[in-house]
Amino acid sequence: MRTSSAKLALAAAIVVLAACVENELEGPSLTDKAAAETIGGSPGGRGQAAVVPAAGTAAPITEKSGEQAFTSECGACHFAFPPQFLPVRSWQAIMAGLDSHFGENASLDPDTAKQITEYLVANAAGPGSPVLRGLDPQDTPLRITETRLWNRIHHEIRPSVYDRSDIKSKANCLACHNGSGAGHDD
């Protein structure tokens, strides 16, 4: 009995450790990774845009803290949409207009806004992403739900579904998606 408990504890410790190590190596959250796989692209330039740091500089930490600022600030009001679902110009336009953000003032202090913009730009839909397919270069969608890709995937959902009190909005991705990037609950 004692041996079996010890084995269980060891196994649990290994699983936790493995999860931590994987998280460190992979960087993006499960949601991000799954979303990237769903749209069949790489996480649009993640890593590529990061400046290669000289020894001892803090560039990777900046990238990480940009993601944290994005998740905590943007995620306070809505699902922290994966950056790779919109092109660079869309994120730039959204971040430039935060004081009138879909009917609400979502303004941020300049330093945090800059940090989040850099994160979004570095991880936006890159060349070859299906998000950009059929998108006019002059076109700057401000909502993921305006993109042709989103509408192609969601065309079977009745509009009344989005009005349900427990869903409220097309922007409430997790009302139906479980965060794994696949399927929906009902």
Partner 1 sequence: MKKAAFVSFAACVLVGMASAGQQSVLDHYAAAATAADPGFGGFSANRGEAFFLAQANVNPDTASCSSCHTSNPRSPGKTRAGQRIEPMAVSVTPDRFSDLAKVEKWFRRNCDTVLKRECTAMEKGDFIAFMSSQ
Contact residues for partner 1, defined by CB under 8 A: 75-79, 99, 103-109, 167-169, 171-172, 175
Strands (E), 17-169: none
CB of 172 to partner 1, least distance (A): 4
Interior/surface letters 145-182, b for 16+ CB within 10 angstroms, e for the rest: eebebbeeeeeeeeeeebeeeeeeebbebebebeeebe
Task: Give the residue with the Cβ less far from partner 1, 26 or 104.
Answer: 104
Residue 85, both tokens:
């679902």
Decide: 178 and 30 in contact? Cβ < 8 Å: no
- At CB < 8 A and 24+ separation, what contacts does 104-109 make? 104/77, 106/77, 108/73
Q: Give the CA angle between residues 126, 27, 67 to the nearest 5°.
A: 70
Residue 146 C-beta: closest distance to partner 1, Å: 15
CA distance 98 to 91: 11
Rounded least distance, CB 132 to partner 1, Å:
25
CB of 123 within 8 A of CB of 43? yes
**CB nearer partner 1, residue 133 or residue 164:** 164
Closer of 26 and 163 to partner 1 (Cβ): 163
Q: Shortest gap between Cβ of 143 and partner 1 (angstroms)?
A: 11
User: CB-wise, 22 or 99, nearer to partner 1?
Assistant: 99
Q: Nearer to partner 1 by C-beta: 53 or 75?
A: 75
CB of 109 to partner 1, least distance (A): 8
